[in-house]
Amino acid sequence: MKRLALLLGMVLLACDGTPTGPPPPPPGGRPLGSAFLRTGPRPCDGLQCWDVDVTCPGVAGSLTATLHVRPFESPALGTVLFFSGGEGTSRWSKEPPGLQAQLDLAEAGFRVVEVQWNEPWLFGSSVAEGHLALACRPATLTRWVYEQPSLHAGSTGRAFCVTGNSGGAAQVAYGLSHYGMESIVDLALPSEGPPMGRIDLGCDRTDPTNEPFWYKGFSPAGMDMGFGFDGDGPCERSDPSFSSRFRAASVVNESGDYEHPSTRIHFLMGELSGSEAQVHGLAYHARLVEEGETDVALEFLPGVRHTIMATTEGANAIRDVILNECRVP
């Protein structure tokens, strides 16, 4: 059904590289944007790289992502899309354990596609944007990758899976909860996040009962940048008058979709994390469980800290979940 629904949708990029208009919004979801292949595929450090420009409604300007595609044993078992944490401008595989996990998956026959944004995907230019609107960028890119014959669409009947740590988990979670990615994603593997689970609770530091949510490592000033503030923003000031806007921009809000019967979601958390991103991720997990219509797993990894794929134990856990669960239902 996922593949049929996709074939009926509008393709983001024609075969000759000419961009088309954005597809209609998925049922119950926000509208996606448009993607355009700037350059590629081109060789890059033994990999194949694609540079893709993404534009979204209600978001100023375009943003470019570089896709790093690893050689794999053909035919592919499926495609795995990796989103890096923080601002999304680094590589998921920058540490040796994460790199080895990707190499293992490619050797096993998975097409590994790693996303690196050339500028932060989560910084906005005005108060009218915010993280939910900005999350259109990774959601649109996810759909584009899925539809490309050389990246996934040529793998008929093969699984399409997504993973990301911390800020990368936000790119995964927003896509499912607000942009209809359940129609194409077979397995979602968020680790240590999403840190934007309840932005309102992270920014309003007046109620000590919500202290575990308060932003520290993810600085309040950094969260304000999603709304175009460059210093002295409402999260940094802990301004309660902005709470409703923060809640509306969160992964968990009143407008989201948390029923994904055809998508398995497997959370991985580090037992030694101590990060508020994990607390926000658990809030998202709880919302999915509350809905009761999604196949959800939650696993805590002993001895592992926040950057899960930087440790051998964490990277191997991510690899093993993908090997065992990245399949068409």
Residue at 165 is within a domain: yes
Q: Specify the pLDDT at position 56.
A: 98
Residue at 133 is within a domain: yes
Q: Which two tokens stand for residue 299?
A: 């696993």
Q: What is the DSSP code string of 230-241?
A: -SS-TTTTT-GG
Q: How crowded is residue 47: how many other Cβ atoms within 10 Å of its Cβ?
A: 15
The rounded mean pLDDT for the chain is: 91
> What is the C-alpha to C-alpha distance for residues 244 and 266, in angstroms, rounded to an integer?
29
Residue at 59 is within a domain: yes
Least confident of 27-36, 41-50, 255-264, 315-324: 27-36
Residue at 218 is within a domain: no
Amino acid at the residue 244: S
Residue at 241 is within a domain: no
Give the H/E segment covering residue 37: strand 34-44
Number of independent structural domains in the chain: 1
Residue at 212 is within a domain: no
> What is the C-alpha to C-alpha distance for residues 47 and 172, in angstroms, rounded to an integer?
24
Compute CA distances 91 → 87, 105, 113, 220, 326, whole Å: 11, 16, 11, 24, 21
Percent of the chain with pLDDT over 90: 84
Q: How confident is the model at residue 26 (pLDDT cuts 50, 70, 90)?
A: low
Q: Specify the pLDDT at position 21.
A: 47
Domain with 173, as residue range(s), is 2-198+250-325
In CATH, what number is assigned to the domain containing residue 68?
3.40.50.1820
Q: Which two tokens stand for residue 213?
A: 């949510």
> What is the C-alpha to C-alpha distance for residues 169 and 303, in angstroms, rounded to an integer?
20
Averaged over 74-85, what is the pLDDT? 91
Does residue 205 register a pLDDT over 70? yes
Averaged over 109-124, what is the pLDDT? 97
Averaged over 293-310, what is the pLDDT? 95
Q: What is the DSSP letter of 210?
A: G
Q: What is the DSSP code string of 249-274?
A: TSSSSTT-----TT-EEEEEEETT--
Residue at 223 is within a domain: no
Q: How confident is the model at residue 13 (pLDDT cuts 50, 70, 90)?
A: very low
What's this model's pTM, rounded to 2 decimal places?
Answer: 0.91
Q: What is the DSSP letter of 292?
A: -
Least confident of 28-37, 43-52, 187-196, 244-253: 28-37
Residue at 277 is within a domain: yes
Q: Specify the pLDDT at position 322.
A: 98
Does residue 220 register a pLDDT over 90? yes
Three-class SS state of 69: strand
**Is 281 within 8 Å of 197 (Cβ atoms)?**
yes
> What is the C-alpha to C-alpha distance for residues 329 and 325, in angstroms, rounded to an integer?
9
> What does the pLDDT look like over 128-182, one tens digit per residue?
999 999 999 999 999 999 999 989 987 778 999 999 999 999 999 999 999 999 9
Q: Best-predicted range by mean pLDDT among 3-12, 216-225, 260-269?
A: 260-269
Averaged over 71-87, what is the pLDDT? 90
Query: Dihedral angle at the C-alpha atoms of 7, 67, 312, 283, nearest 10 degrees?
Result: -60
> What does the pLDDT look like over 38-76, one tens digit per residue?
999 999 989 999 999 999 999 999 999 999 999 887 778
Does residue 18 register a pLDDT over 60? no
